[in-house]
Amino acid sequence: MSEYKDNFDACLQKEAPFCGAACPFHMDVPDFVEKIRKGMWNAAFKVYRNATGFPHIAAALCHAPCGPACPLAARGGAIETALLERACLDFAKDKGATSYNVPGKHRRIAVVGAGVSGLACALRLCAKKYSVEVFARGTRLGGKLWEILPPQLFLRDIEEQFQHETYTLHDVVSVPGRDFLNARGFDAVYVATGAGGDDFGLLDAAGEEAGGPCLRDGHTAWFAGGALIGDAGAYALAGGLHMGTVIDNFLKTDKLSYPPNRAETRMVLDAARLTDAPPVLPRGGDRYAEEEARAEAFRCLKCQCDACRLYVDLCDFTGKWPLRIRDEIAATTLPGVSEVKATPAKRLLSASNLAKLCREVCPAEIDLEGLILEGRRSMHRQDKAPWVFHDFWLRDMDFADGPAAALCRAPAGAASCTQAFFPGCQLGAGDPGLVEAAYAALLARRPDTALFLRCCGAPAEWAGDEERHAAALAEIRDAWRALGEPLMLFACPSCMEAFARCIPEMPQRSIYEVFAEPEGVFASGEAGAARGEWAVFDPCAARRDAGMRAAVRRLAVTAGCNLGMLAEQERVTRCCGYGGQPAVANPAYAAFVAEKRAAESELPYIAYCSNCRDALRKAGKDCLHILELLFAPPAADAPARSAAPRLATVTERRRNRAGLKRALLAKYRNEEDPAPPAEDASAPQIRIGEALLAQMDADRILEEEARAVVLFCERTGRRVYNADSGAYGGYRKIGHMSYWVEYRPLGGGDGLELLRVYAHRMEITLETVWNGIKQDVDL
Amino acid sequence: MESSKTWICDRCKVEMQLMETQFSYLKRSFRHKALRCPACGQVYIPEELARGRMREVEKTLEDK
């Protein structure tokens, strides 16, 4: 797992925005802007004041270096941060300095020079309650500010910001040398004597290893800053504040270090977020009215690298950033029981689509889905994953790979074969007729095409069960070799993607490319009836398969469809909600994803993964499988939804698979299925109403399971009876699940009517002895 | 629970009663009252219970 976790160190989520990196004060502009948007002027002022120390002086000195850095500068125009700062000074009502309740410290700091840099450093250190003494010629505060700003502006600001702080101001003609202050026992000295001022040997001195003009002289550490080292205007003020923090760090750690007051950013902004809206211009000259300022704040993009939040559905749904998800997964997969540690990501792990999208859209190529899959594996290895999250699909896989549904044969008369059709178990479950038709079309082109019906192993992979996944792949590989290593033709992009990754030696192609070939079954130029405008919905598994994507489009045009764009889906090919099988662990998430995909366009969709087709149709979207358009085309003028047959229920899906195997064996091999379903002629007829069938489908309960419970109750007499309704109730455990039925006999010995079917995941643990009598507890 | 009056054990022909019952899920065991036959111990879980409170407890345990 560490290989995935280390990958997250490159995450840009906490990267400074462009403006903040360019700002000498490194102000949190997005926070500042957010407060202005909400009209919280006092709060916005505090953000500004905390960043700049002397807000009025800073606003007067600010030359908006953030402007050229703003990504909107090249579009509509940079955000007018300087105007927003001024608006903040205008509209904030509470501009008093904050009084910090911090215990006093005994360390003493001298500041030489009372210009803006020295005062800024003194202010920071005073706020931290150090004992600060300022040495200046005369008692005039402000230094060079007297030459560039109106005195009432900066003197008032200095007075205001120091109103809760105390420091000693020494009027000295000059500080004669370092010994003068060393002898007075200062722990640190900040020298800000202005351009050309006395540097006390600091500019030539060492400090190279510390990174700047500083040195340690006996007990005292000396630092230089402000105009003395070339900082002017806002940079002198910002540098002074920065040195306050640097000196504080030195006093805490006793490590001499002079980090530059620079910030760099690796920020990457999604280009889709850029807009061309021009800046809001103040109608009243050079100051915003309140509403103008808020409007300009709303124009700010609040730059943050958020490709994951924009495109990865799990981040969108949970409102969590990948870094947080990583931490939650790390905590959850840590060995140990949940009584002594948190397991915040237990459900989240099983709610991802594993569509490998984060790595695609992330500028740092962070593989969030890789981590999630590894997390599922870890949970499986530790036997801590709730079985129910993947149980349904693993049993479905067992069925698809079992004797009733699995088939791997060359057609009768063909000793070996050059190609084999692997339709994928879901297509055969939902649309057995399409598999038959597609196979017939492939056979017509190449009579030595084998048929390979089974599951690709995705449920085991998605459940984190590596052993089972490897076993499934080994079986598939062996069967493929036994067929003579034919070219594998796929209808399901997910099966195809999985095999390309896991069985790389297997040559593969999609049937869509075969059908769309010039000499193929559906050569272009034989356009069908005009069907209006559709959009092709690319499945996540076809993200990197340009050939398949183009072939499906050619086929759709051949089928008479005009194709519109699904711009975003074509660009980032997100999951339909089925991938990773999150529907039991988090049904709301699966529905959220499918609805989002369905909402991207008003156009009806053409899918070429049957899971996409089903997920989108369940989300209420008009959607047909491309094979439906080719082999079972609805009337051209029929609206897509009414034209499409009802989706098969979970019960029908199993029966369809078994029926498909029987039909194909009989048709191409003249074989009877060696394992036909056992029918018990003596079993009573059981009627199930339409509404109950739909309910069972939604609950993923098979009719066979309900029947098995009824027969069990009838056979064993383990049931309860309701005299009022004449109904019987009882349960049986099948696999992990406990299934309950309620039923009543129909009059005239006409069988039974099923009234209710439901299931629970908990197990009822029966006592082996009850009232002194041994009980049958094996249900 | 009204239905407790009307359900009887079909084997023992006695009314089901609320009695302590042992449940287990995801390696955790707990006891709760459920309708049981006092004679043979057979349990009956009504649909409302399975879809309601039981599902809530199941979800809580799945998250732990």
Give the pLDDT confidence score for residue A638 in this predicted structure. 67
ipTM: 0.96
Average pLDDT of the residues in B7-16? 95
pLDDT in tens, A205-228: 756 678 889 999 999 999 999 999
What residue in B sits closest to A340 (Cα-Cα)?
Answer: B64
pLDDT higher than threshold 70 for residue A657: yes
Strands across the sheet with B43-44, in order?
A: A763-765, B17-25, B28-36, B43-44
Closest CA to A170 of A118, A133, A225: A133
Give the pLDDT confidence score for residue A206 in this predicted structure. 58
b/e code A142-154 from CB counts within 10 Å (16+ = b): bbbbeeebeeebb
pLDDT in tens, A692-726: 999 999 999 999 999 999 999 999 999 999 999 99
Give the pLDDT confidence score for residue A473 in this predicted structure. 98
Name the minimum distance, in Å, from the CA of B30 to any CA of chain A.
Answer: 10
Which of B8, B40, B43 is nearest residue A764 as measured by Cβ atoms? B43
Provide the pLDDT confidence category of residue A483 given band limits of 50, 70 and 90: very high
Q: Kind and range of the H or E element at A201?
A: none
pLDDT in tens, A402-431: 999 999 998 887 777 999 999 999 999 999
Q: What is the rounded CA–CA span in Å between residue A265 and residue A268?
A: 9
Strands across the sheet with A752-760, in order?
A: A686-688, A752-760, A737-745, A727-734, A720-722, B7-9
Q: How many other β-carbons are positioned within 10 Å of the β-carbon of residue A737?
A: 21
Conformational region of residue A581, where left means phi above 0, alpha means psi within -120 to 50, and beta covers everything else: left
What residue in B sits closest to A755 (Cα-Cα)?
Answer: B47
| Helices A29-37 and A290-299: angle between axes, nearest 10 degrees | 130
Residue A32 Cα distances to A40, A87, A263, A294, A569, angstroms = 10, 12, 18, 11, 35
B24: domain CATH number? 3.10.20
Average pLDDT of the residues in A532-542? 96
With an 8 Å Cβ cutoff, are B24 and A723 in contact? no
Residue A366 Cα distances to A6, A190, A326, A334, angstroms = 9, 44, 11, 21
pLDDT in tens, A611-633: 999 999 999 999 999 999 999 88
On whether any CB of chain B is under 8 Å from the CB of A159, the answer is no
Give the pLDDT confidence score for residue A645 in this predicted structure. 78
pLDDT higher than threshold 60 for residue A770: yes
With an 8 Å Cβ cutoff, are A765 and B62 in contact? no
Question: Which residues are CB-contacts of A723 (< 8 A; sequence separation ≥ 6)?
Answer: B6, B8
Chain B interface disruption, residue of A341, A379, A589, A762, most B CBs within 10 A: A762
On whether any CB of chain B is under 8 Å from the CB of A340, the answer is no
Q: What is the rounded CA–CA span in Å between residue A649 and residue A32?
A: 54
Give the pLDDT confidence score for residue A754 in this predicted structure. 97
Give the pLDDT confidence score for residue A193 in this predicted structure. 95
CB A113 within 8 A of CB A194: yes
* A389 chain-B contacts, CB cut-off 8 A: 62
Higher per-residue pLDDT: A411 or A689: A689
Locus of tokens 């095409």: A449
Helices (H), A451-608: 458-462, 466-482, 493-502, 511-516, 546-558, 567-572, 587-598
SS3 category, A111? strand
Higher per-residue pLDDT: A411 or A183: A183
CB A213 within 8 A of CB A207: yes
Locus of tokens 């306050």: A244
Q: What is the rounded CA–CA span in Å between residue A733 and residue A761?
A: 10
Closest CA to A306 of A314, A315, A317: A315
Q: How far is CA A193 from the centre of its chain?
A: 52
What residue in A sits closest to B37 (Cα-Cα)?
Answer: A720
> Would you state the structure tokens that stand for residue A691, as one six-digit string?
């509404």
> Would you state the structure tokens that stand for residue A5, as one six-digit string?
């976790």
Closest CA to A105 of A130, A133, A126: A130
Question: Which residues are CB-contacts of A510 (< 8 A; sequence separation ≥ 6)?
Answer: A489, A490, A491, A493, A496, A545, A547, A548, A551
With an 8 Å Cβ cutoff, are B63 and A721 in contact? no
Give the pLDDT confidence score for residue B1 in this predicted structure. 45
With an 8 Å Cβ cutoff, are B6 and A724 in contact? yes
Average pLDDT of the residues in A134-152? 93
What residue in A sits closest to B3 (Cα-Cα)?
Answer: A722
Give the pLDDT confidence score for residue A525 in this predicted structure. 46
Which of B34, B41, B63 is nearest residue A775 as measured by Cβ atoms? B41
Give the pLDDT confidence score for residue A641 in this predicted structure. 53
> Would you state the structure tokens that stand for residue A738, as one six-digit string?
């406990």
Q: What is the mean pLDDT of chain A?
A: 93
Average pLDDT of the residues in A330-354? 89
Residue A717 Cα distances to B11, B14, B41, angstroms = 6, 14, 14
On whether any CB of chain A is under 8 Å from the CB of B58, the answer is yes
* A387 chain-B contacts, CB cut-off 8 A: 26
With an 8 Å Cβ cutoff, are B23 and A765 in contact? yes
Q: What is the rounded CA–CA span in Å between residue B28 and residue A743?
A: 32
CB A413 within 8 A of CB A442: no
Q: What is the rounded CA–CA span in Å between residue A254 and residue B53?
A: 60
Closest CA to A294 of A304, A311, A282: A282
Strand pairing category for A727-734 and A720-722: antiparallel
Structural domain total, chain B: 1
3-state DSSP helix/strand/coil percent for chain A, to nearest 5? Answer: 45, 15, 40
Kindly state the percentage of chain A with pLDDT values over 90: 84
Range of the domain at B59: 3-63
With an 8 Å Cβ cutoff, are B8 and A720 in contact? yes
Give the pLDDT confidence score for residue A1 in this predicted structure. 83
Closest CA to A53 of A208, A241, A209: A241
Give the pLDDT confidence score for residue A677 in this predicted structure. 65
| Helices A388-401 and A466-482: angle between axes, nearest 10 degrees | 20
On whether any CB of chain A is under 8 Å from the CB of B22, the answer is yes
Q: How far is CA A172 from the centre of its chain?
A: 62
pLDDT higher than threshold 90 for residue A636: no
Average pLDDT of the residues in A271-284? 92
Residue A412 Cα distances to A417, A451, A757, angstroms = 11, 11, 44
CB A779 within 8 A of CB A733: yes
Q: How many other β-carbons are positioned within 10 Å of the β-carbon of residue A514?
A: 22
Helices (H), A53-201: 55-61, 66-69, 81-91, 116-127, 145-148, 151-161, 178-182
With an 8 Å Cβ cutoff, are A740 and B11 in contact? no
Nearest-5° angle of CA A118, CA A122, CA A123?
A: 115
Give the pLDDT confidence score for residue A527 in this predicted structure. 53
CB A362 within 8 A of CB A326: no
* B45 chain-A contacts, CB cut-off 8 A: 731, 740, 760, 764
Kindly state the percentage of chain A with pLDDT values over 70: 97
On whether any CB of chain A is under 8 Å from the CB of B60, the answer is no
Q: What is the rounded CA–CA span in Å between residue A16 and residue A26?
A: 9
Chain B interface disruption, residue of A719, A757, A760, A773, most B CBs within 10 A: A760
Give the pLDDT confidence score for residue A640 in this predicted structure. 58
Provide the pLDDT confidence category of residue A475 given band limits of 50, 70 and 90: very high
Q: Where are the domains of chain A?
A: 18-96+268-299, 108-253, 306-381, 388-516, 533-646, 686-774
Q: Rounded to the nearest 10 degrees, how much is the dihedral formed by the CA atoms of A415, A420, A421, A424?
A: 110
Class of domain A108-253: alpha beta
Give the pLDDT confidence score for residue A358 in this predicted structure. 94
Give the pLDDT confidence score for residue A431 in this predicted structure. 96
Residue-by-residue DSSP string for B2-35: THHHHEEETTT--B-EEEEEEEEETTEEEEEEEE
> Would you state the structure tokens that stand for residue A214, as one six-digit string?
């500083």
Give the pLDDT confidence score for residue A71 in this predicted structure. 96
pTM of the full predicted structure? 0.88
pLDDT higher than threshold 50 for residue A293: yes
Average pLDDT of the residues in A39-49? 98
Pick from A96-110, A390-404, A410-424, B30-44: least confident = A410-424
Q: What is the rounded CA–CA span in Å between residue A492 and residue A512?
A: 10
Provide the pLDDT confidence category of residue A671 given band limits of 50, 70 and 90: confident
Higher per-residue pLDDT: A253 or A749: A253
Q: What is the largest CA-CA distance in chain A?
A: 119
* A771 chain-B contacts, CB cut-off 8 A: 39-41
Q: What is the rounded CA–CA span in Å between residue A243 and residue A68?
A: 26
Average pLDDT of the residues in A746-768? 94
Helices (H), A92-134: 116-127
Name the minimum distance, in Å, from the CA of A332 to any CA of chain B.
Answer: 9
Question: Which residues are CB-contacts of B19 (< 8 A; sequence separation ≥ 6)?
Answer: B33, B34, B35, B36, B38
Task: For residue A561, give the DSSP letter.
Answer: P
Helices (H), A559-670: 567-572, 587-598, 610-618, 626-631, 640-643, 650-664
